[in-house]
Structure 1
Amino acid sequence: MTRSPGDSGDRILLAHGAGGSLMHRLIRELLLKYLDSPELAPLDDAAELRIEGDRLAFSTDSFVVKPLFFPGGDIGSLAVSGTVNDLLMKGARPAYLSLGLVLEEGLPIADLARILESIQRTSQAAEVSVVTGDTKVVPRGEADGVFINTAGIGSILPETNVGGSNARPGDAVIVSGGIGEHGIAVMTERNGLKLGGDIASDAAPLNRVVLPILERFGGAVHVLRDPTRGGVAASLNEIADASHVEIALEESAVPVREQVNAVCELLGFDPLYVPCEGRFLAVVDGAVADGVVELLRAELDCPLATRIGEVSPSDAGLVQLHTTSGGRRILDMPAGELLPRIC
C-alpha cells in the first residue's frame, strides 16, 4: 500500500481503525483488492441489495469500545444503535439484527446480563428483532470482557435514493444535534477524568428522527451519514470525495454543547473530529433545507438541528471551514488516531 505519515508500512496500527485516511487507504488498496463487488464498491454505511425486485439494505459492524459501560450507554446499546443507524443512513427501515458475542473468560455474568438487557431495551426502542447469533469464549487476557458484532437488514423506503456519492451543487448540509458528545463521554470515563459538567454519550437509534424526514422529503434527501469514527470532518470528506463536490462549512453554525467544547479546548481536540453515535448529517436539496430543520426542531425533538454548510461544484472533493475569526481553512481527513476504541 502507499505510505503516508504515521504509516507503519507492513503492520496494522490503531489508526487503521480510526475512520481517517489510513483506514480508507487500507480499505481501498487492500480490502477492495480481494473483496470488491458492485454492492461493496460505493462504501456506504450499508449495502443496497436487490432481491426479486425488493430493495434491501444490509450492514454489519463490530464493537470493541473501552470501557464497556460509560455515561449514557454501554457496548450493548451502542451495538444495536450503530447497526440500526447504518441501515437508516441508506434510507432503510431497520427490521432484523444478528448478534455475535466474543466473551472473555472471567467476565462477570452480572455484566453480561446488564449488556444483554441493554441490547433488549435498545432493540425494542428501535423496533428491531435479534433473530440469529453466535457466542464464542476466549481465554482470560485475550479480549477486554466483550466484543460484539451486529449485522442488520431492512427495507429501503420507496422514492429514496440515498448514497454518499449523491451530493449535488446547491445542496445544504444539516446536522441533527450537538456533536462530539459520545467521544468525549467515552474518553473521560476511560481515563477517569473528572472535568465537571454532565457529558453523556449521544448513542441512540435514530428511527424516530430519520424515517419521518425520508417519508416527508423523499428524493430531496441525497445523502445521510452518521459521523462516528473521525467525526463530522471525516464524514464530510467522504461525501465530498465520493460526490466530486466541495463542501463549505460554517464553524459558527456547528452546534457544540458548552461542556463538550470546554473539554475539547482543555485537551486540544477539535469537536469536528470527535465521534458521535446518535447524530446524523443530511445533505438535502437546498430548497427543502429549512423545512428539514424546522421538522427536526419542532416535531422530532432535535432543538440543536442546524444548517451548517453548502455544496458547490468542484472536482477536488474538498471540505472548507469558514472559521469564526473570518478566515478559511481546509478541513482535512484525519490522519492519525485521536480516540481509539470509541465504538
Structure 2
Amino acid sequence: MNPHVRHLRRTLPATVTLAHGGGGSAMRDLIEGVFIAAFTDSDAPLEDQACFDLAALAAVGDRLAFTTDSFVVDPLFFPGGDIGTLAVCGTINDIAMGGAHPVALSCAMIVEEGLPVEILRRVAASMAETARAAGVPIVTGDTKVVARGACDKLFVTTTGIGVVRAGAHIGIGRARPGDIVLVNGLLGDHGAAILSARGDLALDSAIESDCAPLHGLVGVLLDAAPGTRSLRDATRGGVAAVLNELAEASGVGVRLRELDLPVRPEVVGFCEILGLDPLYLANEGKLVAVVPPEEAEAALAALRAHPLGREARAIGRIVETRPGRVVMETRFGGERIVDMLVGDQLPRIC
C-alpha cells in the first residue's frame, strides 16, 4: 500500500489476480482504487511510513503503547460487523487496555487470488468508517496477494500505537485481594453471532456481534477509578481466559458469582443447545476491569453512564485463597472451577 505517485484510477476487474500483488500498475490500481480511496482524503504523496510529531504525543501522556494483531474470522461478514470492523476495534481495544489513548493504525492485508474486488471494497469501507468514528486514523499499510488455497479469502493484520496517560499503571499481574471484578456488559455476543452466521446449525437468532472500540469507555473508567489495577478485553477464550491469566499472573484467587453474570437469554439458549459455556465465548466490545474496592462504586457508575457500559456489572472479587484458580459460586449454592480451555470452543472467530 505504498505507491509513490498517484494516477487516474482505472477500472478494476471483478476479482483479484496474482498481478495485483506484483508491484506493477495492476497493484497500484488495486491499492488506489480500493484502499487509498477508503482510507485517506489527502492528495499528499504516499510514503513507505507514517511520521508523528513527538511533542504532540508527549502532550497526551508519558509512554507509548504498541500492539499488533491478525484477524482470520470466518465468515468475513457477520451480524454486527465484518473482518474490517473486527480488525480496527480489536487493535484499538488492545491499546486501550493498557490505559493508552490510541493514535494511529496500520493495516496489512493478505488476499487470496480470486477474491471478488467488491468484497475488498466493502471491508476497506467498513474499516475506514469504524476508524473515523473512533477518531483513530489508518495511516499506513501493505497488501499481498497469494495463490488460490494459500489463504482463506482474506487475512487482515492491524498494528496500533497509542499514548499511555500519565499516572496509569495497569497490568495483568497487579490484582490484589479485596479488589472487585467488573465487566461492561452482556457476555458472549460475538461468539454466538459468528456461530449463527456460519449457518451450519440452521439456527435462527437476531444476536449481533458486540464489536466496538472501547478507548472512550476506558477513559471515563480511569477518570472515575484512577487506581484501576488491570484491564483486558475478553476476546478469544472469553472472560474465563482473562481471569485465569490474571489469577496466575497476580498469584491470587478469583471468585465469581454466577447470578451476577450478564448474559442475554438468547446466548444462554445457544450454549444450552450446543453444550457451550458463555464464560468462554469471545467478545469484541467487552472488557474485564479489576479495581480497588474503594473505587468500585465510582467505576461501576462511570461505566453505566457510558453507551458501551450500560449493562456493566460487578461479577466477582479477588481473594487470597486458592491462588491461580478461578472459582464460580453457582446459582444452586455450590462451587465449580472455571479452568482455562486447552483449545477454543469456536475456531476462526477473530
TM-score band w.r.t. shorter chain: 0.7 to 0.9
Give the secondary-structure state (helix, strand or coil) at the position aligned to 1:204.
coil
Find the counterpart in structure 1 of residue 146 from structure 2.
138
Find the counterpart in structure 2 of residue 245 from structure 1.
252
For 1:170-185, list aligned pairs within 5 A: 170-185=178-193
Deviation, 1:131, is: 1.4
Find the counterpart in structure 2 of residue 107 from structure 1.
115
Q: Is 2:135 aligned against 1:127?
A: yes
Deviation, 1:57, is: 0.7
Find the counterpart in structure 2 of residue 277 from structure 1.
284
* Cα 1:67–1:197 shift into 2, 3 Å: closer
Name the aligned partner's letter for residue 85 of structure 2.
S
Give the secondary-structure state (helix, strand or coil) at the position aligned to 1:307.
strand
Find the counterpart in structure 2 of residue 35 from structure 1.
none
For 1:86-101, list aligned pairs within 5 A: 86-101=94-109
Query: C-alpha distance in 1, partners of 2:229/2:222?
Result: 10
Q: Is 2:315 aligned against 1:308?
A: yes
Q: Is 2:218 aligned against 1:210?
A: yes
Deviation, 1:275, is: 0.6
Deviation, 1:116, is: 0.1
Identity among equivalent positions (%) equals 50
Query: C-alpha distance in 1, partners of 2:201/2:77?
Result: 15
Q: Is the 8 A contact 1:180 1:231 kept in 2?
A: yes
- Structure 1: give runs of 5+ residues left out of the alignment: 1-50
Number of aligned pairs?
292
Deviation, 1:315, is: 6.7
Deviation, 1:278, is: 0.5
Give the secondary-structure state (helix, strand or coil) at the position aligned to 1:221.
coil
Query: C-alpha distance in 2, partners of 1:132/1:315?
Result: 47
Query: C-alpha distance in 2, partners of 1:129/1:298?
Result: 26
Query: C-alpha distance in 2, partners of 1:308/1:272?
Result: 12
Give the secondary-structure state (helix, strand or coil) at the position aligned to 1:83.
helix
Q: Is the 8 A contact 1:91 1:160 kept in 2?
A: yes
Find the counterpart in structure 1 of residue 242 from structure 2.
235
Query: C-alpha distance in 2, partners of 1:241/1:301?
Result: 29
Name the aligned partner's letter for residue 256 of structure 2.
L
Q: Deviations 1:179-233 (Å, cap 9, x if unpaired)?
A: 0000110112113444333100001111221111112322x11000011111110
Give the secondary-structure state (helix, strand or coil) at the position aligned to 1:308.
strand
Name the aligned partner's letter for residue 310 of structure 2.
P
Deviation, 1:140, is: 1.2
Find the counterpart in structure 2 of residue 153 from structure 1.
161
Query: C-alpha distance in 1, partners of 2:296/2:198?
Result: 38
Find the counterpart in structure 2 of residue 15 from structure 1.
none
Query: C-alpha distance in 2, partners of 1:61/1:313?
Result: 34
- Structure 2: give runs of 5+ residues left out of the alignment: 1-56
Q: Is the 8 A contact 1:179 1:274 kept in 2?
A: yes
Give the secondary-structure state (helix, strand or coil) at the position aligned to 2:347.
coil
Query: C-alpha distance in 2, partners of 1:201/1:194?
Result: 18
Query: C-alpha distance in 2, partners of 1:207/1:181?
Result: 20
Query: C-alpha distance in 2, partners of 1:299/1:339?
Result: 30
Match of 2:326 among 311, 319, 333: 319
Q: Is 2:80 aligned against 1:72?
A: yes
Name the aligned partner's letter for residue 105 of structure 2.
L
Deviation, 1:314, is: 4.3
Q: Is 2:294 aligned against 1:287?
A: yes
Find the counterpart in structure 2 of residue 47 from structure 1.
none
Give the secondary-structure state (helix, strand or coil) at the position aligned to 1:154.
strand
Query: C-alpha distance in 2, partners of 1:164/1:296?
Result: 20
Query: C-alpha distance in 1, partners of 2:250/2:132?
Result: 35
Find the counterpart in structure 2 of residue 23 from structure 1.
none
Name the aligned partner's letter for residue 139 of structure 2.
V
Query: C-alpha distance in 1, partners of 2:82/2:308?
Result: 23
Query: C-alpha distance in 1, partners of 2:249/2:275?
Result: 30
> So what's the TM-score if we normalise by structure 2?
0.81
Q: Is the 8 A contact 1:244 1:315 kept in 2?
A: no
Give the secondary-structure state (helix, strand or coil) at the position aligned to 1:174.
strand
Query: C-alpha distance in 2, partners of 1:316/1:287?
Result: 22
* Cα 1:126–1:299 shift into 2, 3 Å: closer
